[in-house]
Amino acid sequence: MSNRLPVDHVVDEHGADGWKVSPGGLVTALEPVMREAGGAWIGWAGVADQEFDPFEHDGITLVPVPLSEDEVQDYYEGFSNDTLWPLYHDVIAPPSFHREWWDAYVRVNRRFAEAAARVASRGAVVWVQDYQLQLVPKMLREARPDLVIGFFDHIPFPAYGIYSQLPWRRQVIDGLLGADVIGFQRTADAGNFGRAVRRLFGYTTRGNVIEVPDGAGGVRRVIHRAFPISIDANAFESLARRPDVQERARQIRESLGNPETILLGVDRLDYTKGIRHRLKAFGELLNEGRLEVEHATLIQVASPSRERVETYMQLRDEIELTVGRLNGDQSTIGHQAVAYLHHGYPREEMAALYLAADVMLVTALRDGMNLVAKEYVACRFDNDGALVLSEFAGASDELKQAVLVNPHDIEGLKDAIIEAVEMPKKERARRMRALRRRVTEHDVARWSASFLEALTGAGVIPAGVSEP
Ligand code: G6P
């Protein structure tokens, strides 16, 4: 269960309706898992005021949950993406706290819990995903004590000093503790959660087990720990090996005038991604002559996201002003400094872009994991290409052979970009081989298997219920 289904409902210019792949890392990761596992995927179809019956899409059973226009504004754009998102990403943007947004969050979480309670068979495993649905575990446990309930948080869980700003900090944790296993991207996130539980509730934690009073004088054991998410690495590699994708990579290089170095950024247009810092560093490198526009081009794919939320509108204006200035100052008739693309692209095109890019720039200021970094590595079966990776992205815990950076340190970021651009081929290959080993061995199948094993393992199956 996740806020979004893997596909959004869309209507084309001729009025015909259809389904389009949803944005974001969550869907990239979970789609192959659901295809393997069977079961039903409960979520929102991405449009307001429309009801759809359950249906099959690409081998997965989808169960849509409707949202009204007001709920899209208050629960999705408001509480999820203008309260929780900035708060959980270390208040990079100021979170807004509104009581009516909270009320909508409670109401919609209840609707999701009711949908799961209706659909799940007896003793079923329900796996709730991400910050939009943190109250579901408790609501679902109350309605269906027979279920095994997991929760995975795809974004960071902040330190208590930040988390404690949330006026509903107790209710959110109480909601999460309805799960049997609560998963996080990084060990640090799980640690922050454990501390918040102790501070707010005083429950005992032993290692990764939290002892939650069961109301009958006993305790329920809730596991909290890191399960770093990943991608279907083989699927990305197979895409990259396709002759048409490789041909497309050649075309991309050619259409940019075959520069010596192509740098690439791929992000949802989000203030957590550090796109401004990246542009600043690149612009200064051109200004100082450490890079030359005849030889280096930055492709920045910024896919549209949460476009009605004010902070995102402001970010878009800032980014587009910066790109316009940078190109105005640095481009020549034949050579463009930044190729800026405000679009989402199909996976084939992404794989071609990854193959075309000599240097991949992932400079997030805060990011749960960042699957783009893993996609780049998975596509580079040629053991070439250099990855510049922010230490504030969860991926940096695993991808240690990347050129790691603090994106706030613009001088350090510039040096890291130059190091990646000038890295000898042998060194690139050595690092890429190690990165690829990590991503191929720790793929999304392994992630879901280890979570589900923790969930259905000894001690967490409710008494009297056989394993499904
Ligand atoms: C991140 C979140 C997901 C979310 C995705 C896209 O990856 O962790 O929960 O679905 O961004 O954002 P959107 O608001 O369009 O669903």
Q: How far apart are the first and last CA of the chain?
A: 18
pLDDT tens digit sequence for 273-296: 999 999 999 999 999 999 999 999
Whole-angstrom Cα Rg for the chain = 23
Instruction: Say if CB 388 and CB 282 are below 8 A apart.
Output: no
Q: For ligand 1, is residue 26 a contact (CB within 6 Å)? A: yes
pLDDT at 22 over 70: yes
Q: For ligand 1, is residue 462 a contact (CB within 6 Å)? A: no
The ipTM assigned to this model is 0.98
For residue 411, report the distance from its CA to the centre of ligand 1, in Å.
31
% of the chain at pLDDT higher than 90: 93
CA distance 466 to 198: 32
Q: For ligand 1, is residue 25 a contact (CB within 6 Å)? A: yes
Closest by alpha carbon to 175, among 225, 144, 131? Answer: 131
Task: Quote the Cα angle for 161-224-189, to 5°.
Answer: 35
pLDDT at 150 over 80: yes
pLDDT at 461 over 50: no
Q: For ligand 1, is residue 428 a contact (CB within 6 Å)? A: no
pLDDT at 463 over 70: no
Stretch 435-442: mean pLDDT: 98
CB atoms within 10 A of CB 93: 20
Per-residue pLDDT, 433: 98
Closest by alpha carbon to 78, among 310, 272, 268? Answer: 310
pLDDT confidence tier of residue 33, bands split at 50, 70 and 90: confident
Per mean pLDDT, which range of 393-397, 440-444, 454-458 is the poorest?
454-458
Q: For ligand 1, is residue 370 a contact (CB within 6 Å)? A: no
pLDDT tens digit sequence for 408-419: 999 999 999 999
Residue located nearest, by CA, to atom 11 of ligand 1? 24
For residue 222, report the distance from its CA to the centre of ligand 1, in Å.
26
Per mean pLDDT, which range of 222-236, 260-274, 444-458 is the poorest?
444-458
Q: For ligand 1, is residue 89 a contact (CB within 6 Å)? A: no
Task: Tell which atom from ligand 1 comes closest to the C-alpha of 27.
Answer: 10
Sign (positive or negative) of CA dihedral 249, 254, 255, 257: positive
Task: Tell which atom from ligand 1 comes closest to the C-alpha of 368.
Answer: 8
Task: Tell which atom from ligand 1 comes closest to the C-alpha of 131.
Answer: 9
Which residues, at least 6 apart from 414, have a Cβ–Cβ distance to it below 8 Å? 281, 284, 285, 290
Stretch 183-203: mean pLDDT: 98
Stretch 217-224: mean pLDDT: 96
Q: For ligand 1, is residue 158 a contact (CB within 6 Å)? A: no
Mean pLDDT (the chain, rounded): 96
CB atoms within 10 A of CB 437: 12
Per-residue pLDDT, 458: 45
Closest by alpha carbon to 89, among 299, 295, 287, 311? Answer: 311
Closest by alpha carbon to 278, among 204, 195, 365? Answer: 365
Q: What values do phi and psi take at 93, rounded to 5?
A: -115, 150
pLDDT at 88 over 90: yes
Q: For ligand 1, is residue 43 a contact (CB within 6 Å)? A: no
Per-residue pLDDT, 23: 85
Per-residue pLDDT, 376: 98
